[in-house]
Amino acid sequence: MAVSERPLIDWSRVDTVMLDMDGTLLDLHFDNVFWQYHLPARYAEHHSLTEAVARERLDPVFSGNAGTLSWYCTDFWSDTTGLDVVALKQEVAHLVATLPATLPFLDAVKRRGLPAWLVTNAHPDSVNLKMQRTGLSERFDHIVTSHALGHAKESQAFWARLQDCYPFDPARALFVDDSPSVVAAAAAFGIGQVLALSEPDSQGSVREHSHWPTAATLADIIPDSA
Ligand SMILES: [Mg+2]
């Protein structure tokens, strides 16, 4: 970083660190492989379809439910596909991995004495699978799923419920996510500092976030000790 460049995050104005899970702490490669390849392949196999026909049937379900609680609900996908989606995820669970900056970032946040919250749209079944694979759960002061609060992070109702359940000062919170619609919702609620990540998948393409402060990964905002 050039000396004249302003840091992306003003850590002196942060009391609470809220972090998305998939694509922020964990490599989105798992989710991309699962949704783009593994589920369509298993769906085709189960219903005796070609993969092309399977994709034709699944694509409208994907696009029609993006950003809703259903999209993030393993029960919804099991009902829709006739497959045991939790078991299917186990089949590719070896791909669950933290992104390289995750542990150094969480260590630095802890050294600074700040609470770290995991704030995710993922279904509790998926959170459990990923916490088991990564051993990250003990590093968070709270693990909050939108499923438990009844609204997806894209909704203002999610943020209002979050504040009811776990009181915090929005103005002194930092929220990091790779989804632009979620970052927009957090900013609209009044989260003081938001950051969009542009490299959620270690093996995927870069995401553009024109409206929000953007970093490639958490590696770019690791705080110094206070
Ligand atoms: Mg994400």
Helices (H) and strands (E) in the chain, counts: 10, 6
Q: Say whether both 213 and 116 belong to one domain.
A: yes
Which protein residues have a CB closer than 5 Å to ligand 1 (ion)?
A: 20, 22-23, 178
CA of 91 to the centre of ligand 1 (A): 21
CA of 23 to the centre of ligand 1 (A): 4
| pTM, rounded to two decimals | 0.92
Distance CA 216, CA 197 (A): 5
Q: Say whether both 178 and 89 belong to one domain.
A: no
Q: Say whether both 22 and 84 belong to one domain.
A: no
Residue 16's DSSP bridge partners are 173
* Structure token pair of residue 126: 């998926």
SS3 readout for 97-130: CECCCHHHHHHHHHHCCCCEEEEECCCHHHHHHH
Residue-number span of the structural domain to which 80 is assigned:
30-94
CA of 50 to the centre of ligand 1 (A): 30
Q: Say whether both 120 and 190 belong to one domain.
A: yes
Q: What is the mean pLDDT of each run of 10 residues along the chain (226 residues)?
A: 70 98 97 93 96 93 85 90 94 96 98 97 94 97 97 97 98 97 97 97 87 94 88
